[in-house]
Amino acid sequence: MDTLFHQPVVTVNKAAEAIGRTYPAANQLVAETERLGLLREITGQVRNRIFRYEPYLQLFGELRP
């Protein structure tokens, strides 16, 4: 989660690097955080998906005039 504050847009590969785990383990973690509403997939693709740390980014969106 700390990594998401520094890089709020991630791929499963970046998540795997950040947590020091395999791609399947990171994919499972990403799926769970997506289910919880913390991450949102933004590409609409099956491969090379990109996820946003939605609640965090929404804070900045609310600051717009």
Q: Token pair for residue 54?
A: 């939605």
Q: Which residues pair with 39 in a beta bridge?
A: 53
Q: State what percent of residues in the chain have pLDDT above 70.
A: 94
End-to-end CA distance of the chain: 28
Q: What is the reported pTM?
A: 0.83
As a whole number, mean pLDDT of residues 4-19 equals: 94
| Residue with the larger pLDDT of the pair 36 and 65 | 36
Confidence of residue 62 (pLDDT cuts 50, 70, 90): low
The answer on pLDDT for 64 being more than 70 is: no
pLDDT tens track for 23-32 = 999 999 999 9
Are the CB atoms for 59 and 5 separated by under 8 Å? Answer: no
Collapsing DSSP states into helix, strand and coil, what is residue 56? Answer: helix
